[in-house]
Chains A and B, each alone.
Chain A
Amino acid sequence: MGIESKLGNFGVATTTLEQVVNWSRTRAMWPMLFGLACCAIEMMAAQSADYDMSRFGMELMRASPRQSDLMIVAGRVTRKMAPVLRRLYDQMPEPKWVVAMGDCCSCGGVFNNYAIVPGVDEIVPVDVYVAGCPPRPEGLIHGILTLHEKVMGEKIKDHA
């Protein structure tokens, strides 16, 4: 794994607590199994054999918000769904992150009308926006890796 070279003679590696915590957060980030529309199909494709999100420690999608760290808002958010979405977000334990997948939940997309919330960032704070209608599974994976980079730079006390 290449980690042996870092051990040295004493079997001890030095790092900061923050790095270890952030590293472990990114390597086992459990997304919530929660699809809204078209993007959910691409999210499923990203989970399946061809794209295989489990390479990034994300094979486990939890159906319960209480057990998940990451909310992938996959699809358009309607006015009727918005309160439900906010409640799900509130039920997730800290630390938690949100990826807005696709144009509809990033900015409303092609639907500029009475029924659609123009951007899910009006409901929940978004960390990463993934563009595309729908984004390809590679796009989603790129978005998640971007989120990992962001998490690696976080301070522990931000989530205190």
Chain B
Amino acid sequence: MLHEQTEITVDELRHLISDRALEGETMLLNMGPQHPSTHGVLRLLLELDGERIISCIPDIGFLHTGIEKNMEAKTYEKALVMTDRMDYLNNLGNNLCYVLAIEKLVDLDVPERAMFIRVILTELQRIASHLVFLATHALDLGAMSVFLYCFREREIILDIFELCSGARMMTSYFRPGGLWRDVPPGFEAAVRDFIQYLPARIQQYEDLLTNNPIYIDRTKMIGPISGEDALRWGLSGPALRAAGIAWDLRKSNPYSGYERFDFDIPTGANGDVYDRYIVRIEEMRESLRIIEQALDNLPEGPIRSDNRKFVPPPRAELSHSMEAVIHHFKLWTEGFSAPKAAVYVPVESPRGELGCYLEGDGGPKPYRVHFRTPSFAALQTLPLLSKDFLVADLVAIISSMDPVLGDADR
């Protein structure tokens, strides 16, 4: 049913716009929520002096899905499917953040092999996400061919996900205590093919954009932010690294075995659109390095913890073990319980720090789940970044922050 909604009035936004707007000297313009360059359903209210942006008021929430509340109504394991749909370019990364939070809350160990596969898949997901960033960013600036190339490469990654989990996007492949099941036999060959193939492609994108004078004109010193400001405003991930601060949770607070891999943190200097682009391109190369190391050292062994209080027994055990039947029944009807305590687990998503605040109440359902999402922080800085730039630059700035509205609104 249609919720009859009244329009927001200028009076309510009086403190955010200048006096000149009321006199009609500057123009108030609505951009979005249906706009091709807002990357989803972001709405911006702009105050313009000619083409120049005086102030920019983001209005989010058009994709508020109630995921946090819905997760409170499900058991820990069932709520996992919700996380896939939150940041829909980083499905496996969201899974990882949530299962790490559960594992921390109930103190559950993960086998080595599962950790390595998690790393491989989340790094592939990072590349896929950066490819979508590059595609849409270039498309917004008028470079259609990059869009076609990037989506072509992304399909290969999605095929690998499909190989593992059966789904292209909503994989729900990581489970508390490990993985849903082991990777199929063709997995390693497929990933190796891909890491052989991609570097030349990344070079191709760079040939198209990095030294392209039109691209440089549209991006250099557009929407810059200093490192100090970026920290104050809670930016993280590539946006923060482009501003010169080499903070990466994979290095500073390693999780899921990232401390074993050798990789660099690319940084920029100016924190402008161009630097954010360069940082993401370099991150794709670093991700390839991590994947290669993980594949070379991929251990054999189980892929799920054998703690039967949290992980259901394999099918084969059910036929001869009464205990296994009991565990199976209990886990799939009631679910496992977590202690009455809270944890906060951050991971490095392609957009920055993705944190999961998970609180248990002793029962089988999470009492409170909150996701601290990087897009939320990124959109908050838009007024700061876009001030005194042109409307056409705003398009470049939005896409360079790589916001995913499902991530910001949850």
Contacts and interface: CB of A to CB of B under 8 A. Distances in A.
A45 B154 contact: yes
A96 interface: no
B152 interface: yes
A110 interface: yes
Nearest to A75: B63
Interface in A77-106: 78-84, 86, 88
B70 interface: yes
Interface residues of A, number: 40
A143 B41 CA distance: 24
A141 interface: no
A81 B65 contact: no
Interface in B144-160: 147-148, 151-152, 154-155, 158
A35 B170 CA distance: 17
Nearest to B89: A41
A112 B65 CA distance: 10
Interface in B223-255: none
A61 B402 CA distance: 22
A80 B61 contact: yes
B3 A38 contact: no
Contact of A116 (B66, B89, B132, B405): B66
A40 B169 contact: no
B157 to A, nearest CB: 12
Nearest to B84: A38
A45 B40 CA distance: 15
Contacts of B61: 78, 80
B81 A81 contact: no
A122 interface: yes
Contacts of A4: none
A134 B41 contact: no
Contacts of B63: 36-37, 75-76, 78, 81
Q: How many B residues are at the interface, by size bracket? A: 35 or more
Given A38-B88, A38-B169, A82-B2, A50 B151 contact: yes
A134 B148 contact: no
A88 B4 CA distance: 15
Q: Which of A37, A48, A78, A116 has the most chain B CB atoms closer than 10 A to its own CB?
A: A37
Contact of A86 (B2, B69, B70, B132): B2
Given A50-B155, A81-B33, A113-B70, A36 B40 contact: yes
Contacts of B5: 80, 83
Nearest to B43: A84
Task: Determine chain A's interface SS by DSSP, over half rule.
Answer: loop
A149 B1 CA distance: 30
B64 A78 contact: yes
B40 A116 contact: no
B406 A37 contact: yes
Given A63-B35, A80-B5, A84-B34, A35 B40 contact: yes
A65 to B, nearest CB: 8
A48 B70 contact: no
A122 B148 CA distance: 35
A48 B148 contact: yes
A33 B36 contact: yes
A42 B170 CA distance: 12
Interface in B1-29: 1-5
A117 B36 CA distance: 23
B172 to A, nearest CB: 11
Q: Which of A63, A80, A123 has the most chain B CB atoms closer than 10 A to its own CB?
A: A80
Nearest to A61: B36
Nearest to B82: A110
Contacts of B154: 45
A116 B69 CA distance: 12
B152 A50 contact: yes
A72 B65 CA distance: 19
B406 A81 contact: no
A78 B151 contact: no
Contact of B132 (A41, A82, A112, A123): A41
B327 interface: no
A111 B66 contact: yes
B2 A123 contact: yes
B151 A37 contact: no
A113 B66 contact: yes
B40 A83 contact: no
B2 A83 contact: yes
B62 interface: yes
Q: Which of B5, B85, B135 has the most chain A CB atoms closer than 10 A to its own CB?
A: B85
| 5 A-B pairs with the lowest CB-CB distances in the bound complex, closest first | A48-B151, A38-B88, A115-B66, A113-B66, A63-B36
Interface of A: 33-38, 40-42, 44-45, 48-50, 63, 65, 75-76, 78-84, 86, 88, 110-117, 122-123, 133-134, 136
Given A63-B36, A65-B34, 20 more contacts: A33-B36, A36-B40, A36-B41, A37-B405, A42-B168, A45-B155, A48-B148, A49-B148, A50-B155, A78-B64, A82-B2, A83-B2, A83-B5, A86-B2, A111-B66, A111-B67, A114-B69, A115-B64, A115-B66, A122-B1
10 contacts: A35-B40, A36-B40, A36-B63, A38-B406, A45-B158, A65-B34, A76-B65, A80-B3, A114-B69, A115-B66
